[in-house]
């Protein structure tokens, strides 16, 4: 049952094959068994069971709230959840319990979804590995998959098994791992430069970043307000569309959401792609791109072409400036957004009380990690009166050029762009931490982050396993607010590629000894 998609399990609930409480308990049990993945910062067991009970009552009365009623979901720990600790994986917010729900959380709960817990991330979502949080790194469930381990057995390797686990990507790595390891059916991530799509690609699931302004940011603790978008992580494109349908639409609490009333997102099954024009941006063919990913990308293009779609090479000429431009804009907004964490109203406060200024300084030094402090420092430098015109204002102009690149391409008749999501498949943790956070982020965001500058919808769809038995994802980018069209194309593609299901069962049994977790004898994913 846990291996099913959201749509399938929703049907099972409606048909009474399983009850919301049973489903919730199965997920809770699996969360405990996969605790070593470190996907969750907080497991809201009591709340989840209570919500499941409520849901069960509704099903018994025949008053189900719809597709999401009784469905276990997880939420990245940078969305405010009323009564549930929200930490952003930072010492600064340890123990902070928001008094309100983020709009997206509230909308899911209003639909009867069952909140299993809050998922791990890089501190304040600053990172691309889910390795730089106050609660430790997230481990990629694929590290323990039959597919990956069988490939590894063929190769001689001396390192210890347990130190060589793979990163999930990030920053929404906890959400990606939670969905990938079957502990929930959908999870919310956030996406500022690729934070939803990147871990989705590494964990073999669908990661969707909606158009900026389609989904409310109220309650999402910001990284970069002008680029942040709540992301959706699911096991298939249809599921992402169901969740989007619940989340999309104007929110009076977020002035940047569009005024149009939300409409349900029902994806039709595309049978004919011959009227589609797929653009392949030539600037995305970078030397760092692994040959395997490159070959999947080109196979995907061929697939569309062979089915009658028009596939053309396009140019996004300002792509190479995107990372630097992003760095300036991101750190500047970070410097501003992090100013509120001063130890006065909420969150961590140091013991020093000689003066307000000394208290601020020590609180912020203790509360933030090096990555956050580094970005605050850089951002404040860019915002200084003497630097503003040279850095921030210039970066804004470059951002406009980057956004215009996309507009020009779409105006030329391209419906959807097809690109890689990541340079390669997930790498082992020791390899990942060889580079610092900034370098990694700059490398890993290369295909995803220009989309955030332009506010466009984009989705990463798992396409196949690499030689190492690890998932590779490809990205589709759509026109602004043409999210439905984008997902329709992604759904067609998903159907063609038939990405394999992760095989976790026997390996998790093994892991139990390796990681000294509680016994996994009763894990049964194939019920």
Which helix (H) or strand (E) segment is 57 a member of? helix 45-61
Helices (H), 307-454: 322-337, 356-367, 370-383, 394-411, 429-432, 437-444, 449-454
Tokens of 104: 């997206």
Q: Name residues whose C-beta falls within 8 Å of residue 74's C-beta, 6 or more positions apart in sequence.
A: 39, 40, 115, 116, 117, 118, 119, 174, 175, 178, 179, 183, 184, 186, 187, 188
Strand partners, 206: 234
Is 377 a binding residue for another protein by CB under 8 A? The answer is: no
Is 98 a binding residue for another protein by CB under 8 A? The answer is: yes
Tokens of 433: 């931490």
Is 221 a binding residue for another protein by CB under 8 A? The answer is: yes
Is 222 a binding residue for another protein by CB under 8 A? The answer is: yes
**Is-contact 117 77, C-beta < 8 A?**
no
Toward another protein, which CB reaches closer, 156 or 252?
A: 252
Toward another protein, which CB reaches closer, 315 or 336?
A: 336
- Positions 259 through 288 that interact with another protein (CB under 8 A): 259
**Which candidate in 80, 128, 130, 171 is catalytic?**
171
**Is-contact 231 208, C-beta < 8 A?**
yes
What are the distances in angstroms from CA 427 to CA 291, 423, 437?
15, 11, 14
Is 191 a binding residue for another protein by CB under 8 A? The answer is: no
8, 283, 285, 346: which one binds another protein (CB under 8 A): 346
Is 394 a binding residue for another protein by CB under 8 A? The answer is: no
Is 334 a binding residue for another protein by CB under 8 A? The answer is: no
- Positions 68 through 87 that interact with another protein (CB under 8 A): 79-80, 86
Is 220 a binding residue for another protein by CB under 8 A? The answer is: yes
φ, ψ (nearest 5 deg) of residue 463:
-115, -40
Q: Report in angstroms how near the CB of residue 219 gets to another protein at its nearest.
A: 4
Q: Report in angstroms how near the CB of residue 367 gets to another protein at its nearest.
A: 13
HSE-CB of 90 using CA atoms within 13 angstroms: 29
User: Segment near another protein (CB under 8 A), from 385-393, 411-419, 436-444, 499-507?
Assistant: 385-393
25, 164, 226, 512: which one binds another protein (CB under 8 A): 226
What is the DSSP annotation of 215-264? B--TTBPPS-TTT-EEEEEESSHHHHHHHHHHHBS-BTTBTTS-SSPP--
Examine the residue annotation and report whether 60 is marked as an active-site residue of this protein: no
164, 256, 443, 512: which one binds another protein (CB under 8 A): 256
User: Segment near another protein (CB under 8 A), from 32-40, 96-104, 295-303, 475-483?
Assistant: 96-104
Is 145 a binding residue for another protein by CB under 8 A? The answer is: no
Q: What is the number of other CB atoms lying within 10 angstroms of the CB of residue 266?
A: 11
Is 336 a binding residue for another protein by CB under 8 A? The answer is: yes
Toward another protein, which CB reaches closer, 194 or 222?
A: 222
Toward another protein, which CB reaches closer, 187 or 409?
A: 187
Q: What is the number of other CB atoms lying within 10 angstroms of the CB of residue 447?
A: 28
Examine the residue annotation and report whether 76 is marked as an active-site residue of this protein: yes
142, 148, 304, 392: which one binds another protein (CB under 8 A): 392
Q: How far is Cα 335 from Cα 345, in angstroms, rounded to an integer? A: 18
Q: Name residues whose C-beta falls within 8 Å of residue 24's C-beta, 6 or more positions apart in sequence.
A: 48, 49, 51, 52, 70, 72, 114, 116
Q: Name residues whose C-beta falls within 8 Å of residue 255's C-beta, 6 or more positions apart in sequence.
A: none
**Which candidate in 44, 130, 195, 211 is catalytic?**
195
User: Segment near another protein (CB under 8 A), from 196-204, 263-271, 286-294, 378-386?
Assistant: 378-386
DSSP annotation of 81 reads B
Q: How far is Cα 237 from Cα 51, in angstroms, rounded to an integer? A: 26
Toward another protein, which CB reaches closer, 5 or 331?
A: 331
Is 123 a binding residue for another protein by CB under 8 A? The answer is: no
User: Segment near another protein (CB under 8 A), from 57-65, 99-107, 240-248, 418-426?
Assistant: 99-107
Toward another protein, which CB reaches closer, 93 or 520?
A: 93
- Positions 100 through 119 that interact with another protein (CB under 8 A): 100, 102
Q: How far is Cα 36 from Cα 519, in angstroms, rounded to an integer? A: 12
**Which candidate in 26, 76, 139, 209 is catalytic?**
76
35, 146, 152, 250: which one binds another protein (CB under 8 A): 250
Short-list 78, 450, 482, CA closest to 258: 482
Interface with another protein by CB under 8 A: which residues?
Answer: 79-80, 86, 88, 93, 96, 98-100, 102, 217-222, 224-226, 250-256, 259, 332-333, 335-336, 338-342, 344-346, 356-357, 360, 380, 383-385, 388, 392
Which residues participate in catalysis according to the annotation?
76, 171, 195
């Amino acid at each position: 049952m846990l291996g099913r998609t959201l749509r399938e399990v929703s049907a099972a609930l409606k048909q009474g094959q399983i009850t919301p409480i049973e489903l919730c308990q199965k997920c809770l049990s699996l969360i405990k068994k996969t605790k070593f993945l470190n996907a969750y910062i907080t497991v809201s067991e009591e709340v989840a069971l209570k919500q499941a009970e409520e849901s069960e009552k509704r099903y018994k009365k025949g008053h189900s709230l719809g597709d999401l009623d009784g469905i276990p979901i997880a939420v990245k720990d940078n969305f405010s959840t009323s009564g549930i600790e929200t930490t952003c994986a930072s010492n600064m917010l340890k123990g902070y319990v928001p008094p309100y729900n983020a709009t997206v959380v509230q909308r899911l709960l209003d639909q009867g979804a069952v909140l299993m817990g809050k998922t791990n991330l890089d501190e304040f979502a600053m990172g691309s590995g889910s390795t730089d949080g106050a609660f430790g790194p997230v481990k990629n469930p694929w590290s323990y998959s039959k597919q990956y381990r069988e490939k590894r057995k063929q190769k001689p390797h001396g390192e210890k098994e347990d130190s060589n686990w793979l990163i999930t990507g990030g920053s929404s790595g906890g959400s990606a791992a939670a969905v990938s390891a079957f502990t929930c059916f959908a999870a919310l991530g956030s996406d500022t430069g690729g934070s939803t799509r990147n871990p989705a690609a590494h964990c073999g699931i669908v990661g969707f970043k909606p158009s900026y302004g389609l989904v409310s940011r109220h309650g999402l603790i910001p990284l970069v307000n002008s680029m942040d978008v709540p992301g959706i992580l699911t096991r298939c494109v249809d599921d992402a569309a169901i969740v989007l349908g619940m989340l999309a639409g104007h929110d009076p609490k977020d002035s940047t959401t569009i005024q149009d009333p939300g409409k349900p997102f029902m994806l039709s099954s595309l049978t004919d792609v011959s009227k589609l024009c797929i653009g392949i941006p030539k600037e995305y063919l970078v030397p760092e791109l692994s040959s395997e990913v490159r070959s999947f990308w080109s196979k995907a293009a061929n697939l569309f072409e062979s089915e009658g779609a028009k596939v053309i090479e396009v140019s996004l000429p300002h792509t190479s400036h995107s990372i630097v431009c992003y760095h300036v804009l991101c750190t500047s907004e970070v410097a501003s957004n992090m100013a509120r964490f001063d130890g006065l109203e909420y969150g961590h406060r140091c013991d020093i009380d000689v003066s307000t200024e000394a208290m601020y300084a020590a609180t912020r030094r203790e509360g933030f990690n090096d990555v956050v402090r580094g970005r605050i420092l850089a951002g404040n430098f860019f915002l200084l009166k003497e630097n503003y015109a040279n850095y921030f204002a210039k970066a804004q102009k470059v951002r406009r050029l980057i956004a215009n690149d996309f507009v020009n391409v779409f105006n030329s008749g391209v419906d959807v762009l097809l690109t890689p999501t990541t340079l390669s498949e997930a790498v082992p943790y020791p390899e990942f931490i060889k580079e610092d956070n900034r370098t990694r982020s700059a490398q890993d965001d290369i295909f995803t982050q220009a989309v955030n500058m332009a506010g466009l919808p984009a989705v990463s769809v798992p396409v196949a396993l690499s030689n190492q038995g690890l998932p590779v994802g490809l990205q589709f980018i759509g026109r602004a607010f043409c999210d439905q069209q984008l997902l329709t194309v992604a759904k067609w593609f998903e159907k063609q590629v038939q990405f394999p299901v992760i095989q976790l069962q026997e390996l998790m049994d093994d892991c139990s000894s390796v990681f000294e977790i509680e016994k996994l004898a009763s894990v049964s994913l194939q019920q």
